[in-house]
Amino acid sequence: MKHHLFAPTPPMGWNSWDCYGASVTEEEVRGNAQYMAEHLKPYGWEYVVVDIQWYEPGANSSRYRPFVPLEMDEYSRLMPAVNRFPSAADGQGFKPLAEYVHGLGLKFGIHIMRGIPRQAVHAASPILGSEATAREIAHPNSICPWNTDMYGVDASHEGAQAYYDSLFRLYAEWGVDYVKVDDIAASRLYGIHLPEIELIRRAIDRCGRDMVLSLSPGPAPVEHAQELASLANLWRMTDDYWDLWSLLLDMFDRCEQWYTHVAPGQWPDCDMLPLGHIGIRSVDGGAADRWTRFTRDEQRTMMSLWSIFRSPLMFGGELRDNDEWTQSLLTNREVLDAHRYGERIRPASREEGRIVWTSIDSRTGDVYAALFNTAEETQTVTASWEALGLSGSRRVRDLWAGKDLGEAAGAVSLEVPPHGAVLLKLAE
């Protein structure tokens, strides 16, 4: 399908959630975009994504304020809060901010909630392109359990498609390149919302602009993998992911569930990278303003797993505060080549905390091998040629260290620190 061409490689970018929760401002978005253009764009980082509640004037953290007035136009469509996004004044919406991001050579994304604003439903506001009102298309029993902004949309009502069409035409006019839709891939109350995903897919196809479609939160049901791949570009395999070892350890199981569904334009999503300076105005993740709680070994494990699995990479920290270590995780070209060009991804072996994943570079045929140690003490991790499907001798290169380790035949064995990883390239 055509929409798979919108994201031929896994999207890479910055998202405002981990550091600013629902409260990010235009100045902060512009500052992170400028940093990305100057320091990360040459490495493939390109999306700048404004996360949830950009339409809530009083948002001040990741703790939502229930049932407060939201900024909305006359056709039931939420608009950026002008006190937080001054360039949105006079009905301009996100067009000026998107133009700024595009001017840096980057792409612009937004987060939206599934459904239609409750305040539009209670006011019976009109819908552009339909005689139906917001009240008539709402599904008032289809609510989000953790946010009060929206009612679901009744996909069987004739005005439902017109509403979503009007939304995505507006986003196309703004210049949006990426839309993250929440409370839709999985819900604590209702599971997956396929009818609304289908409405959104049609709306994007009709809007006249290429837009990457990301679905949240997870865990998305693997039994619906085929529908997800046919309708979206990426979908979350997990609920909100934070800087906790238990969540990172759990991701190995999730990747094993989903790796057969990784393909160009369809990316099972491990969620955000909670790296660098996070929690600035976010109270999620169990701690306030902080640098990531992951150790350096855990950070390298996360980047290695996300890269060999080919998850989208969405950095969650305040980019302008990055230190040299954090920057090194985002700008290792050899690691990012495994992320961009890997194919035939699979887990090769797993035994007592010693885990090996592998893929093949689509350009060169070189084999990537990621060696993980999820145990609490240093272990020797072995990647055998039998498990990797290899024969003969191979030149071994450590991609994080940026150094050649000589030749090996039959297997490669390395000491890996607890919670640590080594990412190798095995070349003929």
Residue 114 CA to residue 126 CA, distance in Å, equals: 18
pTM for this one? 0.97
Residue entry with tokens 């946010």: 147
Phi-psi group of 310: left, alpha or beta (phi > 0 → left; psi -120 to 50 → alpha; rest → beta): left
Residue type, 273: L
CB 91 within 8 A of CB 221: no
Residue entry with tokens 């700048």: 48
Cis peptide before 219 (omega within 30 of 0): yes
Question: What pLDDT tens digit does each residue of the chain (428 aa) get?
Answer: 688 899 999 999 999 999 999 999 999 999 999 999 999 999 999 999 999 999 999 999 899 999 999 999 999 999 999 999 999 999 999 999 999 999 999 999 999 999 999 999 999 999 999 999 999 999 999 999 999 999 999 999 989 999 999 999 999 999 999 999 999 999 878 889 999 999 999 999 999 999 999 999 999 999 999 999 999 999 999 999 999 999 999 999 999 999 999 999 999 999 999 999 999 998 777 778 999 999 999 999 999 999 999 999 999 999 999 999 999 999 999 999 999 999 999 999 999 999 999 999 999 999 999 999 999 999 999 999 999 999 999 999 999 999 999 999 999 999 999 999 999 999 99
Q: Tokens at residue 393, please?
A: 């001798």
Q: What is the pLDDT of residues 27-39, one digit of tens each?
A: 999 999 999 999 9
- Give the domains, in start order, of the chain with CATH numbers: 3-331 (3.20.20.70), 345-427 (2.60.40.1180)
Residue 183 CA to residue 242 CA, distance in Å, equals: 18
